[in-house]
Amino acid sequence: VNRWDLFGKTPRTKYPLAVSNSENIMGMGIGLFYNGIRFMVVVGVLTTLSSYIVADSGGLHEIMQSPEFTRLDMLLQALMTTKMKNNIIPAVVLSPMTSCSTTTPEGIQEKLQSVAASRLMAAEVKRSAWDAQKRKKELEARPRRRRTVRFYFIRHAQSLANQNAYLVGGRDVMTPLTENGETQAKLLGQRLQREGIAFDRIFASHAVRARRTAELASAELGFTGNIEEEPRVVEFCQGDLEKKPRADVYAEGGPVKRGIRRDGNLFYRPPGWSAEGVRGESAWDTEVRYSQFIDELLDAAGEEDPGHQELVVAIFTHGMSLKSFVRGAISAAPSFSVTAQIDNTSITEMRYAPQKMDELGGWSLVRFNDTSHLRADRVQRAFKANFPGSPRDRALAFGVLYVGLLASSLYFVAAQKRFAKRFDEESTSMSDFCVLLKGLPTDLTDEVALKKWAEAQLAQSRINFEVQGVSIGYDFGGDEALKWEVYDMLDRFCSATEIELMLKGKTADAQEMAFAKESLGNLKDDVAKDRSKAQEWFDGEKKLKGTGQAFLVMTKSTGKDAIMKAYEAKESLFTYQQKQIQVAEVNSEPPDICWENLGIADEAIASNEWKAVGQVLQMFIFINVLTMGFNLYVVMPYLAAGSNASGPLMTVNGIIMGIINGQLGGKVWNSAWGVGYHRKDRADVWLFNVNFAITLCNTFISLFMTIYAVIATDPEVAAEGVGMFFKELSTTTVGLESTVGHTLFMMLIPGQLFVNPLMGYLQGNIVPFLQANLVAKIVYVWKCLPEKLLFLLKALLPWSPDNVDKYERRNAENGMVAGQIGLPWDYSNLILNPLSVFFTFFFVSTNSSTESAYLVAWAVFFFMYSRFMHLRVQSVAFHSTHKLDRSVWMVWGCVPLALIGTCAMTWVFRAGLVLRGAPLWQKVLLMLVTYALSCLVWVLSLRALYPLLKEDSPDVIEGDFKDCKREWIFSWFNCNPVFTLKCLYYLPKFLQDAELGKVKEKLLKKKDIWGHPIACGDDEDVVRYFKPGKEFLHFSPEKQKSIREGDFQDWLEFETYLAHINRFAEQVRQNKVNSGDFYEKLEDFLPNFDDAF
């Protein structure tokens, strides 16, 4: 329990608080929250397992793990066009985080050229990764392959397209052979016959030129079998470049040359569609389909035949498609498809031997382009290939993850409800003694009369339990000036009481005692004025009215249970002047009641909620308009300037995003105060829902802007839009999604997950506290600046008065008190951070498993961080119901959990299992339907759990009100602000005027004379007002003595160090420390933490 003491320049002094249930004195809500963090550890572990499995599927890990590949940036593509060059160069010059060592035009040009040159290296890395994947698959396939296969790959004879070489050829399956081509095919067959080659099977593409070549050659060879048609060995398609003049297409500065320089020889894909409706293919595309056919043939070759050791196969194919396959089989360089030559009817002989893993085996090139009788043309292309198997694996992994998280989440929610039920049954608190009466006359403000009426009503219903008292809800919140006047009076009363206790204890030096006496004198003058004003509120024309609500407090907890049971059976349990009085169960504790708002109707609260949402939206829009400029003019151009610069930039972007979310959270808090909620738990639910919705929108705006900044720098990708992320997985998207995934990873780690909480501790606690300390001393203690400057500086001081003469004790205390425990904001982080990690699963990224592992680390960190903030930094706040927890886990199932289910379905259609070739709107619709079904499953599952977990079960142990009050300190009487003022200022006058009081005033306590309990602490005859942080004012004289004699230091609280530094600085300022004994004195002032360990 903390109090703030400026007289000794000591910011915080710690006092003991003895309670029986010391594990948790702030209600079940705190325990439920920490259970939620523990559950996040389980979520992180399950997510890590699933994401690690898919990170290595389909050879993706080998392709994405190279650090050179992650540096493949959009700048290298943008440099190919003058338009993008004009956009990027200013960004490189002006960006404060540029990697250029100079900003001169020559320096920029040199930097850009060096970065552009690395494009070829990146393409080489991609090629090496793909070959490594193929090698891995081939090794894994060897155990199931038993037969050696010898392949004769033969290019078709001369066609009409080969004769018209000035035009770009391509797939065109109807192109016939020329007369010379017919001759070439026959010569080929004759040669094969002379060499004694006998084919077991012959394959040919469905192109006329390949089929005709196979027919003529096999006739010469004497092959009597069937020629099998195989479309996967057909020539690659050159899109809309086919039939165009070759000189124009391959001209310097033309589309092909630009594409090859941009993407490399291996990965360039011709644009558009051919006349046959086939999209342009890269060499990589061709190699994939070609390799699939060869792999199927090898798998189907069968066991070794002792009489016929090898299977001999002829494949009549095409030039570019054959070179693409051979390049991959022998792991040649990307330039192979350009520098290698495949002539018409040339023979390329390759042998595949499935030796064991430790023996030499696999592919061997026997001869290449054997054309002793023929010649051919060169063709150059690049390719990009699909990753077989990876999307299917991801769909399965995330589907299993969804089922696992759904089951564990339902189990956890059931455990949470059982925890709440057990907490309520086994612990006795003030809510166990109270019911709420509604519909009472507003002029009924006599607690004694109301208590007697309640006792009579209970007696009529044969409920034989004693009534402790009633706490009337007074209507004082509608008048803003009256509301603050009430709380100002209580502040002055608490401050005067605290100073009196300090003077009695004589724990300060002479100067501090003089300050205290002066402050006490001023406060007593104010208290005298408060007394006369408050007496008018209870006896006079300005008498306060009630809200029609009163809390009926029983002496035994079983009395409440009896009332609720009787009321459910008989609704007319209480009647006042022939009007039925409603009875409502109370589950909140007295500090959770917003006493000033009890007079606000539910309709007004609903209207105020929308007004508050509107205020938050205004700030949300304003902030995002500002951050939009940051994303457009810093993030987006800088991403275009190189992904090696995106790391620190994305970290900063993540920190900025967290700070903005914190500012929005503060605005949500301020707006909630004007809504008028009656209970804190309902306000917490609204705070969580609004804060989570706003921060969710803000976070995802930043995420989507980052994605847009990545894809917008590639003209080809930008033209295709977000639809590319819904297509079947290919390396067109793999490279881009890798960049997106890495960028999101840099935003989340460490900025979003780790830096933001630490920044919250720094900016929300340490900085304001140090600022208030320093400014208060400059203005009111040292007075070391001109008066005008002091007035300007005073504006930085919270709760500062209109002058620079005196900073009253209670003003200073209110200005430096730490913020309350804010579970709605903590819960928002608990849901938002896993959601951000889940969002990255929609993209191909090797960072997925790393992010999931960091999610586990974050959950552990967040547990320790929250314990530190709640118990050592923030002010006490009570969370006595599980209403907030229930709302949080409803959101959990309908947002993050449903997102995982949607992610699994997304990978189902990206794997081509459903909606293959379907339009974009159908895929989006399927995602929305999946999301809605996931939400429905979650809501129905929770509904099935609730009947088993009713929250109105009776207490297991009968509690006594007096025992409970000794343990919890607060009660329904000392938490009621107006009732406390009534006991403080009106009751003494009432007792003085009462005839009974004149006779027995010295023999009976005030409550016995009045006939009703008063707002008090340990001493039932001394008025006290309960305020978090002021619990020590309620203690008995014996406990007060322990407080005065105690010296409590906490080595984990920065205030401990600051207090000793301040004290030592004050000694130095007063010349009480000489230079000779400086270090000795300093050691005396350092805190002693021997007992802390």
Q: What span, in angstroms and rounded, lies between the C-alpha atoms of 231 and 235?
A: 9
The torsion defined by the Cα of 724, 725, 728 and 730, in degrees rounded to 10, comes to 70
Residue 435's H or E segment, with its range, is strand 434-438
160 is known to lie in a ligand binding site: yes
CA–CA separation, 507 vs 522, rounded Å? 21
Cα angle value 1092/30/870 (rounded, 5°): 40
DSSP 64-122: H--HHHHT--HHHHHTTSHHHHHHHHHHHHH-TT---S--SHHHHHHHHHHHHHHHHHH
Return the CA Rg of the chain: 40
Place of tokens 């608490």: 494
Residue 209 annotated as part of some ligand binding site: yes
Contact 594, 454 (CB under 8 A): no
Torsion of CA 491, 495, 497, 498, to 10 degrees: 140
884 contacts 824 by C-beta, under 8 angstroms? yes
Is 1060 among the catalytic positions? no
Question: How far are the Cα atoms of 586, 593, 887, 1007 from residue 29, in angstroms, in the given order?
Answer: 16, 15, 12, 34
β-pair partners for 352: 149, 363
H helix intervals, 152-201? 160-163, 179-194
DSSP annotation string for 698-752: HHHHHHHHHHHHHHTTSHHHHHHGGGGGGSPPBHHHHHHHHHHHHHHHHIIIIII
> What sign results for the dihedral spanned by CA atoms 633, 635, 640, 646?
positive
Cα 277 from Cα 450, distance rounded (Å) = 89
Is residue 69 within 8 A of residue 129, CB to CB? The reply is yes
- Kindly state the helix (H) or strand (E) to which residue 558 belongs, with its residue range: helix 557-569
- CA–CA separation, 634 and 644 (whole Å): 15
Task: Quote the CA–CA distance of 344 and 373 in Å, as a whole number.
Answer: 10
Closest of 759, 771, 749 to residue 837, by C-alpha = 749
Any idea which residue has 């004589």 for tokens? 506
User: Choosing from 62, 138, 156, 447, which is the catalytic residue?
Assistant: 156
The DSSP bridge pattern shows strands 347-353 and 362-370 to be antiparallel
Please check whether residue 954 is in contact with residue 905, taking contact to mean a CB–CB distance below 8 angstroms.
no
155 is in an annotated binding site: yes
Residue type, 384: K
How does DSSP classify residue 308? B
Burial class from Cβ neighbours inside 10 Å (0-12, 13-18, 19+) for residue 46 reads middle
Closest by CA position to 938, among listed 417, 416, 415, 410: 410
Do residues 48 and 849 make contact, with C-beta atoms less than 8 angstroms apart?
A: yes
Measured distance CA(512)–CA(575) in Å, rounded: 57
* Residues 883 and 682: beta-carbon distance below 8 Å: yes
Please state the φ and ψ torsions of residue 11, each to the nearest 5 degrees: -65, -40
Q: Is 349 a catalytic residue?
A: no
CA torsion 743→747→750→756, rounded to 10°? 180
Residue 1071 dihedral angles phi and psi, to the nearest 5°: 60, 35
Residue 736, marked binder: no
> Do the annotations mark residue 468 as ligand-binding?
no
Contact (CB, 8 A) for 148 and 213? no
Given 235, 589, 609, 737, the catalytic residue = 235
Q: Which residue has the tokens 């079960």?
A: 953
Active site residues: 156, 235
Known binding positions for substrate: 155-162, 209
Known binding positions: 155-162, 209
